């Protein structure tokens, strides 16, 4: 994995409270963001959550245009949409089996060997997620704090194998 890289393509798995916030801050920073939810109805709910949050941010003068930020976000229910991402942040329920299956799938789907696969977990050891892949050196905990668009605090949690 490269020691320094510029990230412009971000993927987020899960568009609940945390995932939508992560997607929002990434898009507000100018990144192209693909969000994947488990179903089309969950994706629609996530889009609604994002629209409401961005409209509030615009009304408070924190961003110039909610529509402009939203244009950088694509939401769907297909993990294959993450194939070209440089950073993917998993933000699903705190279920170890679910998370390890997602990391195993991402290992196959995400094409770039330099891509960073991250989890927003606060309780599952990053090492357990890393060993579900063939690229444990690229796995990292990226623990955002809630509400993500308001709290500019991120905890980076490497495993012993993270490069």
> According to the model, what pLDDT value does residue 4 have?
57
**Nearest Cα residue to 140 out of 87, 79, 97:** 87
Q: pLDDT of the chain along its 163 residues, tens only? A: 444 568 999 999 999 999 999 999 999 999 999 999 999 999 999 999 999 999 999 999 999 999 999 999 999 999 999 999 999 999 999 999 999 999 999 999 999 999 999 999 989 999 999 999 999 999 999 999 888 988 888 999 999 999 9
pTM of the model: 0.93
* Residue with the two structure tokens 């995932």: 19
Q: How many CB atoms lie within 10 A of CB 11?
A: 29
Taking alpha carbons only, the member of 138, 77, 80 closest to residue 109 is 80
- Which residue is associated with the tokens 């993917």? 88
Angle at 17 between CA 96 and CA 162, to 5 degrees: 45
């Amino acid at each position: 994995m490269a020691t320094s890289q510029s990230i412009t393509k971000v993927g987020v798995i899960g568009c609940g409270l945390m995932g939508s916030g992560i997607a929002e801050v990434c898009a507000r920073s100018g990144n192209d963001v693909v969000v994947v939810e488990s179903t089309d109805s969950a994706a629609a709910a996530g889009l609604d959550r994002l629209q409401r949050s961005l409209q509030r941010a615009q009304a408070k003068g924190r961003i110039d245009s909610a529509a402009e930020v939203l244009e950088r976000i694509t939401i769907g229910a297909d993990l294959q949409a993450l194939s070209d991402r440089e950073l993917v942040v998993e933000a699903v329920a705190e279920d170890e089996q679910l998370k390890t299956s997602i990391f195993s799938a991402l290992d196959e789907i995400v094409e770039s060997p330099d891509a960073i696969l991250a989890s927003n977990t606060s309780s599952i050891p990053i090492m357990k997620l890393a060993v579900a892949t063939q690229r444990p050196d690229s796995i990292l905990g990226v623990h955002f704090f809630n509400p993500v668009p308001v709290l500019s605090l991120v905890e980076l949690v490497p495993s012993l194998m993270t490069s």
